[in-house]
Amino acid sequence: MPNFLVDSVSVSVSDSIKKEAHYEILPNPGSGIDLWYYSRTTTTDGNMPSETLQPERQKRLPFDSRRKSRTGKPAFRMIDLFAGIGGTRLGMESIGGQCVWTSEWDRFSQKTYATNFPSEHPVHGDIREAEAESIPPFDLLVGGFPCQPFSIAGVSKKNSLGTPHGFECKTQGTLFFEIARIIAHHRPAAFVLENVKNLLSHQKGETFNVIRETLQDELGYEVHHKVIDAKHFLPQHRERVFIVGFREPTKFSFSKLKLPKVGPKLDSILHPQDGSELAEEPFTIGAKAKVNPKYTLSDKLWNYLQAYAAKHKAKGNGFGFGLVTPEDTSRTLSARYYKDGSEILIKRGPRSNPRRLTPRECARLMGFPDDWQIPVSDTQAYRQFGNSVAVPVVKAVAKAMQPHLKKILKP
């Protein structure tokens, strides 16, 4: 499918700077088309690069064309555990994966997942209630499991009594155990696990040691891990550890992962409020798609946050709100954002209270496309995006894994 230029505009900023923008339909293999907005800045004065071209925003399409049922043979089959709303799945679908089984216990996340991946397999609930035998064959396991402590006390006693040991003993009762037992039963070609950066230091490193030993020594997988900051791809400082494993020896190395040196800024995800995008109520309203006033902080909340920050600053603490402009990179979006939005507040001028991000802007901040449907309340949407993976980071990891996974699966 060729690319099609559907709109273009050119604006002269000065004698030496010209800005151009155009909308372009791009093929999205296996899932329809994407409509991208590009900007190009050309300069002749030597103060800026002579030419830059980068995608700034996926425009909303009047129809959902991205997640139609895949036709043809997939590159591999995967299962999505602790799936949330499907961010990891999106990333892995970018290299041709087909999801054949999903588990997510939260009913609101299930609703968002099912809305955006319709007419497919049902979303299963509690992973602890799923029999490994009931899960269909798959090649790749992906999951972002909760960080829980492991108790290794009494292992020697269990050995002497002849009771189960190894990963069955060390991880029993944790949600990581559910991942381990499914891997042990199905022996997939590879897996990708994601967690908070603090997993590496949790219980002075003991938690991660048990995880690595379980995957590597007990289950026999080649294991790699790396902390990746989403700021390379998105205007957000968000560090997460990715754990990648292969059933067979490979030449995979995270050192070969290509990370952009300079990431985008918040203006790439904020509503332009100038009529260049369609209004999406209740997030934006009116002909110019202005941000709904309900996202602006009340005087009471804004005064409280300022007083709270001043109080802790006087004590030498770093607690406070994160006030940002379109030229900035934000703090980490968290699942508690629905409470007051304090970690990411958008400045609106010296005499105006700042505002929260809208749920659509949160979706963009996590790398979800603009045709991603948000069928839940603002509170639930904030929780879901705050708990999600950064989709472009998963895509980068997927691309790095692709040749090695392909080699293992080669007949």
pLDDT, tens only, 22-64: 434 444 333 333 344 334 434 444 443 333 333 444 443 333 3
pLDDT band at 170 (very low <50, low <70, confident <90, very high): low
The answer as to whether 190 is a domain residue is yes
pLDDT digits (tens, 9 = 90+) for 216-272: 999 999 999 999 999 999 999 999 999 999 999 999 999 989 899 899 999 999 999
pLDDT band at 193 (very low <50, low <70, confident <90, very high): very high
The answer as to whether 275 is a domain residue is no
Q: Kindly report the average pLDDT of the chain as a whole number.
A: 81
The answer as to whether 271 is a domain residue is no
User: Does residue 300 share a domain with residue 230?
Assistant: no
The answer as to whether 83 is a domain residue is yes
pLDDT digits (tens, 9 = 90+) for 268-327: 999 999 999 999 999 999 999 999 999 999 999 999 999 988 887 777 776 678 999 999
User: Does residue 110 share a domain with residue 223?
Assistant: yes
pLDDT band at 81 (very low <50, low <70, confident <90, very high): very high
User: Does residue 397 share a domain with residue 383?
Assistant: no
Q: Put the strands of the sheet holding 33-43 in their side by side order.
A: 4-12, 17-27, 33-43, 51-58
Please tell me the predicted confidence (pLDDT) of residue 171: 53
Of these residues, 99, 147, 169, 362, which one is catalytic?
A: 147
Tell me the CATH number at 259: 3.40.50.150
Please tell me the predicted confidence (pLDDT) of residue 9: 38
pLDDT exceeds 50 at position 151: no
User: Does residue 215 share a domain with residue 303?
Assistant: no
User: Does residue 117 share a domain with residue 35?
Assistant: no
User: Does residue 122 share a domain with residue 20?
Assistant: no
d(CA 374, CA 385): 10
Range from 132-141, 317-326, 368-377 carrying the lowest mean pLDDT? 317-326
The answer as to whether 71 is a domain residue is no
Closest Cα to residue 115, out of 376, 358, 379? 376
Q: Are the C-beta atoms of 210 and 170 separated by less than 8 Å?
A: yes
Residue 147 falls in the annotated catalytic set: yes
User: Does residue 162 share a domain with residue 94?
Assistant: yes
Buried b (16+ CB within 10 A) or exposed e, 339-364: ebbbbbbbeeeeeebbbbbbbbbbbb
Percent of the chain surpassing pLDDT 90: 62
The answer as to whether 50 is a domain residue is yes
User: Does residue 252 share a domain with residue 181?
Assistant: yes
- Residue of higher predicted confidence among 158 and 304: 304
Tally of structural domains, the chain: 3
pLDDT exceeds 80 at position 162: no
User: Does residue 218 share a domain with residue 331?
Assistant: no
Q: Are the C-beta atoms of 188 and 209 separated by less than 8 Å?
A: no
Q: In which residue are the tokens 């402590």 written?
A: 149
What would the mean pLDDT of 357-379 be, rounded to a whole number?
Answer: 97
Q: Are the C-beta atoms of 399 and 406 separated by less than 8 Å?
A: no
Please tell me the predicted confidence (pLDDT) of residue 309: 86
User: Does residue 230 share a domain with residue 145?
Assistant: yes
Please tell me the predicted confidence (pLDDT) of residue 198: 87
Percent of the chain surpassing pLDDT 70: 75
Please tell me the predicted confidence (pLDDT) of residue 147: 67
Tell me the CATH number at 313: 3.90.120.10
Please tell me the predicted confidence (pLDDT) of residue 110: 96
The answer as to whether 121 is a domain residue is yes
User: Does residue 87 share a domain with residue 123?
Assistant: yes
What would the mean pLDDT of 162-185 be, rounded to a whole number?
Answer: 70
User: Does residue 394 share a domain with residue 344?
Assistant: no
Please tell me the predicted confidence (pLDDT) of residue 270: 98
The answer as to whether 11 is a domain residue is yes
Full residue range of the structural domain in which residue 25 is found = 4-58
DSSP sequence for 387-400: HS--HHHHHHHHHH
